[in-house]
Structures are given as structure tokens and as C-alpha cells.
Amino acid sequence: MAMQGLLTISVFLLLVSSCSCSRLQPWTKDYFDALDFRSFGDEEAAGTTDGLDFGSFGDEEAAGTTLINVMHYGAIGNGQTDDSQAFINAWRDLCTVDRGVPALYIPAGKTFLLGQVQFQGPCKASSVHVKFEGSLTAPLGTGWGGKAGLDKWIQFEYISNLIIEGGGKIDGQGSAWWTTCAKGRQYGQGKFQCQRPTALHFHSCNGLQLSGLTHLNSAQNHISLSGSNGVTISNLYIIAPEDSPNTDGIDISTSTNVNIKNTFIGTGDDCIAINGGSSGINITGVSCGPGHGISIGSLGQNGAYETVEEVYVENCSFKGTENGARIKTWKGGRGYARKILFQHINFINVKNPIIINQFYFDKNSLPQLADNNYYQEIKVSDVTYSDLHGTSANDIAINLNCNKDGGGCSNILMDDVRITPAVPGMKLNVICNNAYGNVTYAIPNVPCLSH
């Protein structure tokens, strides 16, 4: 069932408090039970700061913050009038402030309709803030984009130490796109190749911090990150219907030293995907479901050279997802995925709790190479599964499907893995093809994982 409507801020506060105050850890079953999805509604929470005026451009606060309120740039915030130009003008001023910390202020209690906007740096200040309390909404329907190169809605680029925080909301209005612009379909009068837009994209934003926001119903992935170092993403709430296409929560590529913490992601596709050129990625306290789980890759499509290393996924949980801990590579790619740790993970009714697939194939993409040309391989090695437990919805609890052409997957360690069937009485099986490593303790046992 599609979860329609807006999330009340009170639910969001419940979520935040349940991970920090009431000691319900996101990798426990109780955590999910504590989330009250029935309170989805249209009202804003009490205590919004509507009407609060932080002063006009140039006002200095004690801490040296210059607040730049979009309302003073002509934004209307009625959800109907296009406020893009007001935001762009406010950003231009923000980016030229050269003293203290300039902060773009998006006030609570208002909904700002934005078309495709790019917020670009570099800015003069060494750090810029966005105090994000209101809501942003995309135009309804698909008429505003879909052309090649117009595949992103809101973009931040080339900005150092960008800090976006607040209880605001970003609504991608994706439902029209999901049907009109289904994958592979031509779209519009000129028959553009249909491309659904990413809701929020960051490129080359070193030192980025993003926290507190609710992200709803993107047409495509909700957040994507590329070319950035030293990023912290925390306390987000990302939600789209289970059957919405390609609505990944967070996609990371060509980025280093990224922390994703204490975040809830329930969408139609990957919870988090870690793509090529990424290393030093820590994911902690993330709850996923529904969706396709946390995935390394896919890597190596069309023979590409791609690498991912040092990924630590800890204290996370998966509820009702297609996959849990997943690594997927295409045949014929080059590079590696290595030094990967999945630790303290809880699975609740997950179809493929532990899966490595070196034969990844997207049924919507045409294969680019004849099958007998696939001799090279993305090497998968040094993967540890430690303290993973919970229930499997399918009878294959552990599936390590590696390709012998590249030497298989090596140094795989199963250290305290306990998976039981979600359906009582179902017998759980394990598959290993060309997977090498060790087992300290695993239920079901993994005798096929040989040294």
C-alpha cells in the first residue's frame, strides 16, 4: 500500500527520540514497532515557527550568523507560486557574504514550490548554512523535466562545509513520474528518453552535513552524493511507497569518508547504495524497510573499472526488505569491492538477508557484451558478517554467488550469523558458488564456504 500524505513532525520527533532518548536501538525489532505510521496526516505539528522573522539580509546575530530569509527575496510559500527565483537570488547573496557564517533561512509553516534549481559555489564564506524548517515541493506532474541533462531537481555543487539542518521537508511529488515515466519509456512531445529526476543531489560538497529533514516521494532516488569528502548525513526520514520505481534512499558514488547515522529509510528500491569510487563509508543506526536493502554496487556495468572499499555497516536493521546485506557486481567489470563489514544487523522477514551476486543483471537494461566476453571481474574480498541475526522470508538465507572467472570471492568471514525462517517450519538453505573464507558460527551452517 502506498503511504500517502504528509508525515507529521510529531512522528518525526517520535522517531528521533526513539533512537536517542528512549533507548530503542534501530537494529532491534521494537524500534520498528515504535514507529507509528498510522499518524500520517496533513497537519503540521503544533509549535511551528510560522511568522518568526529572523530579520532581513545583513542582520547579524550574536554568533556571527547572517540570516538570509527567502521571504525577503519574494518567496511566497503557498505551495502554488514558483519560488525558484527567490531562492536563487537569496542563494546568490548568501554565497557572497564573506564574514561569519551566512545562513539561508527557509521558514516553517510554508511550502515553497521549486522548479529545477542549482545552488552553486564556491561561496566566499568558509562554511554556509541552510536553516531548513519549511517544506519544498516539486511541481506536480512531469512537464518540468525529463530531458537529458535535466535529471535532477535540487542540486548543490562545489560548496565547502555546507550545513543543512532543520525539521523541514522535501516532497518530490513522484507519483506522476512513476507511471508516466516508467523506465525505458519515451516521454514528451519531442519523445525524450524519459529520465526521472533525483530529488536532491550534492556534487563536490566537501564537509557537507545534512540532518533532520524528511524526504518524501522522489521521482527517482531521494538523495545522491558524488565527488565529496568528509560528509555526515544524520537523522533523516526518507519515505516512498514500496512499489515506487528506483526510489533509492541515499546513493553514494566517488565519495570518501562518509558517515550516515540514525536514519530511517523506507522506499521502493535500495535503502543505501554505495557505488564506484567510494571508500571510508560508515553506516550506523540506519533502519531500512521496505526497499531493497543496503547495497555495495552495482559495480562494473558495461565493463567499467570501479572500486569500493572500507565500508562499515553497523547497528542497522532491515524489515520486510528484498535484500539485507548485499553486494552486486556485473559480469565483465574490472576493479574491486573489499574491506567490507556488516556488523550487529537485525533482519525481520527479509527475502535475501545475506547476498553476494557477481552476475547482477538489470532486466531493464540491455546487456552490452556478449556473454562469452565476460572474462574479467570485479574482485570481491575481505567481507565480514559479524553478529547478523533475524528472520528470512525466503528459503535461501545466505547466497554467495561468485564467478569463478575472476577467482571467486575471497576471505569471506561468517562470524556469528543466526538466521531463522520467518515462516515456521520452512527449511533454510545456503548457496555458495566460488566463495572462499571461514565460518566461526553460523545458523544455517555454511559448510560450502571453504578456505
Q: Return residues touching ligand NAG (CB under 6 A).
A: 257, 259, 280, 282, 284, 312, 314-315, 344, 411, 413, 437-438, 451
Tally of CA atoms within 13 A in the half-sphere of 213 that contains its CB: 25
Taking the complex as a whole, how short is the minimal distance between the CB of residue 36 and ligand NAG, in angstroms?
Answer: 24
| Per-residue cell: 389 | 541475526
Contact 216, 244 (CB under 8 A): no
In the complex with ligand NAG, the residue whose CB is nearer, 307 or 376, is 307
Picking from 63, 41, 42, the residue whose alpha carbon sits closest to that of residue 54 is 63
Picking from 4, 39, 24, the residue whose alpha carbon sits closest to that of residue 317 is 24
Residue type, 63: A
Beta carbons within 8 Å of 403's beta carbon, 6+ residues apart: 331, 358, 359, 374, 377, 433, 434
Q: How many helices (H) and strands (E) does the chain have?
A: 4, 32
149 vs 77: CA distance, rounded Å? 27
Taking the complex as a whole, how short is the minimal distance between the CB of residue 438 and ligand NAG, in angstroms?
Answer: 4
| Residue 292 is a catalytic residue | yes
Taking the complex as a whole, how short is the minimal distance between the CB of residue 432 and ligand NAG, in angstroms?
Answer: 14
Residue type, 381: S
Contact 298, 330 (CB under 8 A): yes
- H helices of 111-196, in order, are 175-180
321 vs 345: CA distance, rounded Å? 13
Q: How far is CA 152 from CA 18, 72, 200, 255, 445, in A?
A: 33, 26, 7, 19, 45
How many residues are listed for the chain in this entry? 451
Taking the complex as a whole, how short is the minimal distance between the CB of residue 409 and ligand NAG, in angstroms?
Answer: 12
In the complex with ligand NAG, the residue whose CB is nearer, 137 or 284, is 284
In the complex with ligand NAG, the residue whose CB is nearer, 138 or 281, is 281
Taking the complex as a whole, how short is the minimal distance between the CB of residue 260 and ligand NAG, in angstroms?
Answer: 10
Q: Which of 72, 215, 292, 344 is catalytic?
A: 292
DSSP assignments along 371-394, one per residue: GGG----EEEEEEEEEEEEEEESS
In the complex with ligand NAG, the residue whose CB is nearer, 8 or 410, is 410
Strand partners, 278: 308
Taking the complex as a whole, how short is the minimal distance between the CB of residue 402 and ligand NAG, in angstroms?
Answer: 16
Taking the complex as a whole, how short is the minimal distance between the CB of residue 238 and ligand NAG, in angstroms?
Answer: 20
Taking the complex as a whole, how short is the minimal distance between the CB of residue 255 and ligand NAG, in angstroms?
Answer: 10
In the complex with ligand NAG, the residue whose CB is nearer, 180 or 257, is 257
In the complex with ligand NAG, the residue whose CB is nearer, 251 or 382, is 382
41 vs 7: CA distance, rounded Å? 6
CA dihedral for 237, 239, 242, 244, sign (positive or negative): negative
In the complex with ligand NAG, the residue whose CB is nearer, 142 or 161, is 161
**Cα 417 vs. chain centroid, distance in angstroms?**
26
Picking from 162, 102, 173, the residue whose alpha carbon sits closest to that of residue 135 is 173
In the complex with ligand NAG, the residue whose CB is nearer, 8 or 284, is 284
- Which residues does the annotation mark as catalytic? 292
